[in-house]
Amino acid sequence: MADSTIITGQYVRINQVPASIGERIFARIVDYIILFLYVIATFFVLDKLYIGSYANTNVILTFILIYMPILFYSLLCEVFNNGQSIGKRLFNIRVVKVDGSIPTLSAYLLRWLLYLVDVPLTSGLGVIVVLITKNHQRLGDLAAGTMVIKERNYKKIHVSLDEFNFLSDNYKPVFPQAAELSLEQINVITKTLQAHGKERELHIQQLAGKVHKLLAIQTTPINQEQFLQTLVRDYQYFALQLI
C-alpha cells in the first residue's frame, strides 16, 4: 500500500498510509447500522408517546429527530470528533488534510457535500476514484484536499535527524514533562520565540506561565525565554526516541 509522506513545519516526517477501500466501506456500513438503529429507536419512542396522532407535529418531529441527524451525521461526527465517525473510529481510520494537518470546517463541509456526487448521484463513482487514486481519495477528498488514513500509522512519527543535529549525543533533557507536549504546542512555543516586536517579551512571559501551569513545573532558576527554549530542545530529544 502506498505511503503519503509529508514534512511538517517542524521537519517532522509523517508516513501516512491511506485507509483501504475495504476499511472505508466497512466503516460506512457500521455508520449505516447505527443510523438504522437510531431510526428504529426514535420511531418507537415517538409511537409510545403517541406523537403520531398529531399530523403536523409528527412531520416536524420526524424531520428534526430523524432526517436531520441522518443527513448531518457524517459531517457533525467528523467536525466534532477530529475526522472520525463512529465507524471510522472502530476501524482506526480518520480524515486528515493531505499535508497531515486537521481539516478546516470548509474542507469537511465540501467533502460532505460531494458525497452525493461520489455515491448516490453517480452510482458509486467515488468508489472507482478511490481505487485509482494514489492516496485512495474520492472526489470529495480531492476537492477538499483531504484523505482517509490509518490512524495507527499517523501516530507513528519519524523525526528528521537534520532538524535536531544541534543536540549532542550525550544531551540530557532538563524537563521530562516536555514529552507530554504535542507538536501543535511546540509550534506555538517556537513561533513565540521567533516572533519580533515590542510585545515579544510579554507574550513569552504569558506563554511561559501557561506552560508552567500546564506541565506542573515549579519556578526555575533560568529566565522564561530560556525555559521555553529548553522545553523545545527537550521535546526534540524525546521525539528522537521514537525513531
Domain finish residue from 154, 171, 197:
154
Q: Does 208 share its domain with 103?
A: no
Q: Does 127 share its domain with 219?
A: no
H or E stretch covering 182: none
Q: Does 25 share its domain with 126?
A: yes
Q: Does 100 share its domain with 21?
A: yes
Total count of domains within the chain: 2
Give the CA angle between residues 89, 214, 208 to the nearest 5°: 130
CA contacts within 13 A on the Cβ side of 55: 0
Q: Does 8 share its domain with 56?
A: yes
Q: Does 38 share its domain with 72?
A: yes
**Tell me, what's the pLDDT at 86?**
95
**Tell me, what's the pLDDT at 36?**
93
Domain finish residue from 154, 188, 223:
154
**Tell me, what's the pLDDT at 64?**
76
| Euclidean distance between CA atoms 66 and 37, whole angstroms | 11
Q: Does 134 share its domain with 198?
A: no
**Tell me, what's the pLDDT at 46?**
73
What domain range is 116 assigned to?
A: 4-154
**Tell me, what's the pLDDT at 183?**
80
* The amino acid at 225: E
| Euclidean distance between CA atoms 72 and 35, whole angstroms | 11
pLDDT-flagged residues of the chain (< 70): 1-15, 50-59, 61-62, 152-169, 240-243
pTM of the model: 0.59
Q: What stretches of the chain adopt beta strand conformation (E)?
A: 4-7, 12-16, 93-97, 146-150, 157-159
Report which of 72, 144, 74, 53 is spatially closest to residue 103, judged by C-alpha positions. Answer: 144
**Tell me, what's the pLDDT at 4?**
54
H or E stretch covering 49: none
Q: Give the Cβ contact number of residue 217 at 10 Å.
A: 16
Q: Does 124 share its domain with 182?
A: no
Q: Does 22 share its domain with 99?
A: yes
φ and ψ at residue 154, rounded to 5 degrees: -65, -30
